[in-house]
Amino acid sequence: MTKGKSIAIIGGGPGGLILARLLQMKGVMVKVYERDLDKNVRQQGATLDLHNESGLKALQDAGLMEEFIKNYRPNADLLRIVDRKGNILTDQHTILKDDTITFGHAHFRPEIDRGPLRTILIDSLSPETIIWNCQFVNMEPSGDGWQISFKNGNTVFADIVIGADGANSKIRPYMTEIKPFYSGITVIEGLIHDSAEKAPDIHALVKEGKVFAFGNDQSIILSSKGDGSTAFYFGFKAAECWTKTCGLDFTDREQLLSWFKEEYSDWGGIWDGMITSAENLFIPRPQYCMPFDQNWKAGANITMLGDAAHLMPPYAGEGVNMAMLDALELSQCLVNEDFDDLQTAIAFYEKQMRTRAAEVAMITMDSTAMLHSDEAIPFMTGVLS
């Protein structure tokens, strides 16, 4: 069905890149159009934990497990649960780990930084597969395909378009008018470079792994990165419009510190060091989720994957894993000769994807609510026991 057809993947995140890899392995003509200027753009955010049944499964099918094993970060998955004063309640670093829990084990969730994972995926592709500096503007039907326009003035034709462009997908509106709903939780993200020197107390608490702290219906999550930095996230209940009405300048460290001391007033002083030591840029992120019952009519030449299709908060750690599993299943459907046509193949993929995503989204929203309640610490310590 894809023989002689060109596929345009909009977005060069893990989902879009591994889809391109899987399709190229099957001889499909594919290009990835990415808004970043080049491959050297620094990857922000926390590390990614890949799951055996999804992210790792996709890497295995893509023939990239050897490279992943060379680049993953042993022990970065180890977690500490602490209270709002920084007291350690559960510490996976001190729990004797079963040596059999390794690659191939259902409960092994190895961590890798976003940059190295992206490099593995980019290097696996044929030269010039990725077209950089291509920010999507719009597209129009053209014959049996699409004419796509980018901000740099370029236009291209593709027989099939796949949206892998994340939470604010520009491809999704061409498929459905369904919009996400607000979860009730807003997150502020920050990053401490060289945390061992700039925030030694925080660095020691994280111990090259992760920290989850809870109290007063609020959360703080810290995650170490391989370059010696520490990413952090404040999670709290807020109105959907809070980022516009709060009056905070998120490039002003002193403003944010004053806000934090007021809103997190009975948290221990150790946490202030996150803000005073961080880059002078903090990113507010209201958390959204797609409806659990979303549905749309499948198209014959367009589909989507990952957050573009099933955005949800990050508190269950499923985002990148679902995107990579979407890519694996979609690649299999697009080259499956048992389907009569592309629309049938796409419809089959989307039905499976939506069913799976709805189940995970419900679990994620339950977890999001639980982690911002009085039951957060008993819930998490119970999960880890």
Evaluate if residue 272 carries a pLDDT over 90: yes
Buried b / exposed e over 116-126, threshold 16 CB at 10 Å, is bbbebbbebbe
| Helix axes of 342-370 and 319-334: crossing angle, nearest 10 degrees | 170
pLDDT in tens, 224-245: 999 999 999 999 999 999 999 9
Q: Are 261 and 272 in contact (CB under 8 A)?
A: yes
Domain 181-289 coded CATH 3.30.9.30: yes
Evaluate if residue 79 carries a pLDDT over 60: yes
Global pTM reads 0.94
Among the listed ranges 40-49, 66-75, 175-184, which one has the minimum average pLDDT value?
40-49
pLDDT band (50, 70, 90) for residue 106 = low
pLDDT in tens, 137-162: 999 999 999 999 999 999 999 999 99
Indicate left, alpha or beta for 86 from its phi (over 0: left) and psi (-120 to 50: alpha): left
Identify the residue with better confidence: 193 or 384.
Answer: 193
73 labeled binding residue: no
Q: How many CB atoms lie within 10 A of CB 268?
A: 15
Q: How many CB atoms lie within 10 A of CB 143?
A: 9
Q: How many CB atoms lie within 10 A of CB 191?
A: 20
DSSP percent split of the chain into helix, strand, coil, nearest 5:
35, 25, 45
Evaluate if residue 96 carries a pLDDT over 60: no
Average pLDDT score over the chain: 94
Q: Are 250 and 259 in contact (CB under 8 A)?
A: no
Predicted confidence at residue 385, as pLDDT, reads 64
Predicted confidence at residue 382, as pLDDT, reads 81
Predicted confidence at residue 67, as pLDDT, reads 97
User: Which residues lie below 8 Å from residue 196, measured CB to CB, with a gap of 6+?
Assistant: 203, 228
pLDDT band (50, 70, 90) for residue 99 = low
Q: What is the number of residues in the chain? A: 385
Predicted confidence at residue 28, as pLDDT, reads 97
Q: Are 15 and 324 in contact (CB under 8 A)?
A: yes
Where exactly are the structural domains of the chain?
6-73+113-178+291-370, 181-289
How far, in Å, CA of 323 to CA of 14, rounded?
A: 7
Q: Domain spanning 6-73+113-178+291-370: which superfamily?
A: FAD/NAD(P)-binding domain (3.50.50.60)
pLDDT in tens, 166-220: 999 999 999 999 999 999 999 999 999 999 999 999 999 999 999 999 999 999 9
Predicted confidence at residue 94, as pLDDT, reads 85
pLDDT band (50, 70, 90) for residue 17 = very high
Closest CA to 316 of 371, 381, 240: 371
How far, in Å, CA of 192 to CA of 198, rounded?
A: 8
Closest CA to 161 of 58, 299, 28: 299
172 labeled binding residue: no
| Residue 52 CA neighbour count, 13 Å, CB half | 9
Evaluate if residue 95 carries a pLDDT over 80: no
